[in-house]
A = this chain, B = another copy of it.
Amino acid sequence: MPSYAPPTKDMMFVLQDVLDVQNCDIPGYEDLDAEFISSVLNESGKLAGNLLAPLNATGDAEGCHLENGIVRTPQGFKDAFDQVKAGGWPSLDCDPEYGGQGMPFVIASAVTEMFSSANMAFSMFQGLTHGAYSAIWAHGSDAQKQKYLPKMTNCDWTGTMNLTEPHCGTDLGQMRTKAIPQSDGSFQVTGQKIFISAGDHDMAENIIHLVLAKIAGAPEGIRGVSLFIVPKFMVNDDGSLGKRNNLSVGKLEEKMGIHANPTCVMNYDGATGFLVGQEHKGMRAMFTMMNEARVGVGVQGYSQAETAYQNALAYSKDRLQGRDVTGVKNPNGPADPLIVHPDIRRNLMEQKSFIEGARALTFWGAQLIDRAHRLKDQDADGLVSLMTPVIKGFLTDKGFDMCVQAQQVYGGHGYIEEWGMSQFARDARITMIYEGANGIQGLDLVGRKLGQDGGKHVMAFFDLVRAFISENKDINEAFGKDFLEPLKKASKDLQGAAMYFMQNGIKAPNNALAGSYDFMHMFGHVCLGLMWARMAKASIQVLKNDKSDAAFYETKIATGRYYMQRQLPATGLHLARIQSGADPVMVLEAANF
């Protein structure tokens, strides 16, 4: 069975050496000294490694079960959930006004990665609750906040988001769920929602469903959608639970993975709901949830790769197979360990260089989110908003790929469920789909984010890369050659693609849309190239003053060099694909496929 060891040291490196969190000017960050961060990471890491990880494979094998309308989670889940709650982990970055601990999002992100690596299906209960919490926090009335948030902050009540219906997912304008106003100001919500993660379960006393629906007489399409709080049990004014609401689980889906998280068909049959924010402005509120959720899904993507990698690495050191062609490495054994073989190394380096780059990108993104929220910095908000589809789309595509590669290290054993590598791939697969399938992320990036505020944010990104290159060109020759030159080339490719879209997308939008997926990947590569350059720089700086942990920092530089030499050149391929334009993609009549 696979195991998970929290990568605390790698996280500390990003937070301290690269992002230098304690010394930046974001309110709340001044508390993030090394001792504090490490105590948070060590404690959450213990929980992840010792409590959640052992439940991952058993949860997958057992799955959830629908019994008399109630979903039963796998053995051990409720106990573990209680322990996570007892540690106060769900409330880490929640508002102290509602019982939260008010910590920066960047720290919560590190904890999220660990919990997700250890047991993604389990961590979703908490993640979705946080998303629902955020939507109510941002858009709910004071009374609603007082009523729901204190219980949601630490997952005494969990949350869900209800968007999809059988006939519409991406295109929510087609929504049929109806909300009929009642005389007491509430609404009667009727309709069917599908793909509702954690739609029901036995780990919390109440579930707060956030449901998109159309109020009778609303405008057509997406502009007529409103958001409602629809609790499983009604909440009395004194906070006690009242009667069961008119909603039920219609079905539990059989899925490729995340078996331990129940994906429900939810039926709302005149359920009592309460409008959140303004009528017909539900999408705005839902996007609050979704943007947060998208970053979270990006974390899930690489978090699965992290745990898969750890196990593949251990296997590659343990499994004796064949001999090193350059000379026997394990003369007393029947064969050398797998890790001596160049193609196994290639496989492991792909994983390692991706995962560490992904982590740095995500933590940087979280820092930008903190900057946006805590300093009301609109530039930071614009930049992270630009990078959100990249974090979601690129990190989940690659995260899944890396799980598949890790599985490959095991040979035949990788295909046998008992070894656990299949689960990482099966679980990671959903991250490419939910919270907006990755094709939609590409569209969001190219069709919306690129031109947002007159293209200001993408320009800021390019400026940032350019400034980094020019400010650091004198670090040393190797850094220039190994990091800055490839970054410059990749960034130029990305600019070339943006330029192509500007020149050709205006006359024919399909020229841009046909390249949106490639652009998302290209952007992801440039982001990871930038993060590796930053990590290499930080490592060089540490090594200048302190060689006591030289192997760690030299390994960072070597891993970064791998990324720059073997992964980053993908931007050239993506550019060529983009520049071939819409014609090769669109030329066929649908009937001729």
Contact = CB atoms under 8 A, between A and B. Distances in A.
A318 B286 CA distance: 28
A193 to B, nearest CB: 12
In the complex, the 9 A-B pairs of residues with the closest C-beta atoms, listed nearest first: A342-B513, A256-B422, A342-B514, A565-B580, A254-B417, A343-B439, A171-B321, A562-B584, A555-B592
A426 interface: yes
Interface of A: 164, 167-171, 173-174, 194-195, 253-257, 263, 313, 317, 320-322, 325-326, 334-335, 337, 339-349, 352, 400, 404, 407-408, 411-412, 414-418, 422, 425-426, 429-430, 432-434, 437-439, 442-443, 508-510, 513-514, 516-517, 551-552, 554-555, 558-559, 561-562, 565-566, 569-570, 572-573, 576-577, 580, 582, 584-590, 592-593
Nearest to A564: B584
B326 A510 contact: yes
Nearest to A324: B510
B254 A513 contact: no
23 contacts: A169-B321, A169-B412, A170-B321, A194-B412, A253-B417, A254-B416, A254-B417, A326-B509, A342-B516, A342-B582, A342-B585, A343-B514, A345-B588, A346-B585, A348-B593, A349-B588, A400-B404, A404-B429, A412-B433, A555-B592, A558-B584, A559-B588, A569-B576
Given A326-B509, A510-B325, A573-B573, A415 B439 contact: no
A393 to B, nearest CB: 11
A344 B408 contact: no
A585 B335 contact: no
Contact of A337 (B340, B411, B517, B590): B590
Nearest to A348: B593
A167 B257 CA distance: 29
Contacts of A552: 592
A343 B415 contact: no
Interface centre among A254, A344, A400, by most chain B C-beta atoms within 10 angstroms, is A254
Contacts of A417: 253-256
B433 A414 contact: yes
B322 A171 contact: yes
A345 B433 contact: no
Contacts of A582: 342
Contacts of A554: 592
B584 A335 contact: no
A576 B570 CA distance: 9
B577 A569 contact: yes
Dominant SS among interface residues on chain A = helix
A532 B93 CA distance: 55
A253 B418 contact: yes
A513 B325 contact: yes
Contacts of A320: 167, 171, 174
B584 A170 contact: no
B253 A171 contact: no
Contacts of A433: 408, 411-412, 414-415
Nearest to A329: B590
A322 B509 contact: no
Nearest to A194: B412
A522 to B, nearest CB: 12
A493 to B, nearest CB: 12
Given A343-B514, A513-B342, A573-B573, A439 B408 contact: yes
A322 B171 CA distance: 5
B164 A439 contact: no
A578 B311 CA distance: 27
A316 to B, nearest CB: 8
A414 B400 CA distance: 15
A489 to B, nearest CB: 11
B584 A561 contact: yes
B593 A344 contact: no
Contact of A577 (B337, B430, B551, B566): B566
Interface centre among A321, A352, A582, A585, by most chain B C-beta atoms within 10 angstroms, is A585
Contacts of A565: 577, 580, 584
Contacts of A171: 320-322, 335
Given A334-B174, A439-B347, A415 B321 contact: no
A346 B514 contact: yes
Contacts of A416: 253-256, 263
A580 B346 CA distance: 12
Contacts of A347: 439
Contacts of A551: 589, 592
Given A256-B415, A561-B587, 11 more contacts: A254-B418, A255-B422, A317-B590, A326-B509, A346-B514, A349-B585, A408-B432, A422-B429, A554-B592, A558-B587, A569-B573
A580 B345 CA distance: 14
Nearest to A61: B254
A412 B587 contact: no
